[in-house]
Amino acid sequence: MIPRIDRQAAFSGIKDVGPALAFDVARLEDYLRAQLPDFQPPLRVHQFKGGQSNPTYLLESPARRYVLRRKPPGKLLPSAHAVDREFRVISALHQQNFPVARPLFYCADASVVGTPFYVMEHVAGHVVWEPHLPDAQPGNRAAIYDAMNATLARLHSFDPAALGLSDFGRGENYVARQVERWSKQYRASETETIEEMERLIAWLPLNLPPPAPVRLVHGDYRLDNIILTPSQPKILAVLDWELSTLGDPLADFAYHLMQWDMPPSETGAGVGTLIGHDLARLGIPDRTAYVNAYVARTGLEMREHLPVYLAYNFFRLAAIFQGIVGRVRDGTAASDHGAAMAPLVRPLAGRGFEFAREAGEQ
């Protein structure tokens, strides 16, 4: 039996780097000397506890802190772990004063730490792993949710060409291509047969939402991928751009909406949920109000097709979690809690199929 995880304690902060993800620190020091004029050794390296995909490290020097994010070693799924794309997108967004960590450099040379990586500035702040924000006051919860909504709406307002990202993805037919991609990724890491997943793989390609304007999408936008100021409801940085591309902003927003309907996790692993919480008492908007605020900010209408978007996103997250289970199987998981993802795949697929039924699946 997998013990229950305290998400805030388990995923916040740093830990020692495990043998599978360790690298030659002296070699990295030499490289940093060449790349960063103000770098001062010696370097202390720890791994962040949070994150399931690309291993992320805190680099501490006597003068400054940095963050290094790298591809994991070993066998990888096709097109996954694209740290070069992450570096490119945060570089473009940083120039627009969008809240991201300041990127410093990208290194494609695998001989330095074993895989390609990039380095960015460390952002001092607070990451909250439970969407009901247990330690916040109701007024602050409302303000944080409004800031999350406004920040994603701003991301979806950018013209990709104006960011220099017109070639960052194909853009058109985004949901169709994502369904195809994650169906293949799911098959590549599949460990058991899940009927709801099979039915979603068959149903989704035939029931796609109508085309939406092509925008830059984050791909994994949620509270625990955001750094907040400790003292006020302000977003300092949006993290984890591995899945970012050009695509359907409404699909991206619907992914963010999943926390209102996320199946609770008995182990505490996976993604937090608002199910079971008194949102009015907490000061958190209900899903309808949150959707209305996004539509008002962006002018992008999606309410009629929300069940399809949610069916797609629960399917997609189930496939992502199955990929983590596959990395546990292959010994390349970045997190100590990867094995706890296995029981979550089936409930996610089940919730996705419920939304498919709501959208008319027979």
Digit-coded pLDDT (tens) for 252-269: 999 999 999 999 887 766
Instruction: Please tell me the distance from the alpha carbon of residue 283 to that of residue 142, in angstroms, as a whole number.
Output: 5
Do 213 and 334 belong together in one domain? Answer: yes
Rounded to the nearest integer, the mean pLDDT of the chain is 91
Residue 340 is predicted with a pLDDT of 67
Q: Tell whether omega for the bond before 42 is within 30 degrees of 0, i.e. cis.
A: yes
Instruction: Supply the CATH number for residue 96's domain.
Output: 3.30.200.20
Report the pLDDT value the prediction gives residue 189, as an integer from 0 to 100: 86
Distance CA 152, CA 33 (A): 36
- d(C-alpha 292, C-alpha 290), whole Å: 5
Find out whether 253 and 64 touch, Cβ atoms under 8 Å.
no
pLDDT for 191: 83
Length reported for the chain: 362
Report, as an integer, the average pLDDT of 300-313: 96
Domain that holds residue 213: 138-358
Mean pLDDT of 160-184: 95
Contacts of residue 12, Cβ cutoff 8 Å, sequence gap at least 6: 49, 50, 127, 129
CB 247 within 8 A of CB 143: no
Report the pLDDT value the prediction gives residue 360, as an integer from 0 to 100.
86
- Please determine, for residue 202, whether its predicted confidence score (pLDDT) is greater than 70: yes
Tell me: do 343 and 194 sit in the same domain. Answer: yes
> What is the separation of C-alpha 69 from the centre of its chain, rounded to a whole number of angstroms?
14
Report which of 160, 175, 262, 289 is spatially closest to residue 214, judged by C-alpha positions. Answer: 160
| Domain termination residue (choose one: 91, 121, 151) | 121
Q: Are 177 and 284 contained in the same domain?
A: yes
Judgement on whether residues 275 and 186 belong to the same structural domain of the protein:
yes
Kindly state the average pLDDT of the residues 16-28: 94
pLDDT of residue 2: 53
pTM of the model: 0.90
Alpha carbons 95 and 164: distance in angstroms, whole number: 11
Of 73-87, 231-245, 333-347, give the lowest mean pLDDT range: 333-347
pLDDT of residue 186: 92
Residue 113 is given by DSSP the state T
Specify the pLDDT at position 332: 59
pLDDT of residue 74: 74
Q: Side chain identity at 114, as an amino acid letter?
A: G
Alpha-carbon distance of 200 to 285, in angstroms, equals 29
52 — pLDDT class (breaks 50, 70, 90):
low
Tell me the range of 170-179, 259-268, 316-325 where mean pLDDT is highest. Answer: 170-179
Beta partners for residue 66, in sequence order: 59, 121
The count of other CB atoms within 10 Å of the CB of residue 187 is 11
Helices (H), the chain: 7-11, 25-35, 83-94, 138-155, 174-189, 195-203, 249-257, 279-282, 287-298, 306-330, 345-358
Most distant pair of Cα atoms in the chain: their distance: 63
Number of domains within the chain: 2
CA distance 308 to 12: 33
Is residue 227 situated within a structural domain?
yes
Q: Report which of residues 78 and 53 the model is more confident about.
A: 53
Q: 105 falls in which pLDDT band (50, 70, 90)?
A: very high
Do 308 and 160 have their domain in common?
yes
Question: What is the pLDDT at residue 260?
Answer: 97
Read off the amino acid at residue 362.
Q
**Which band of pLDDT confidence, cut at 50, 70 and 90, is reported for residue 29?**
very high
Do 190 and 331 have their domain in common?
Answer: yes
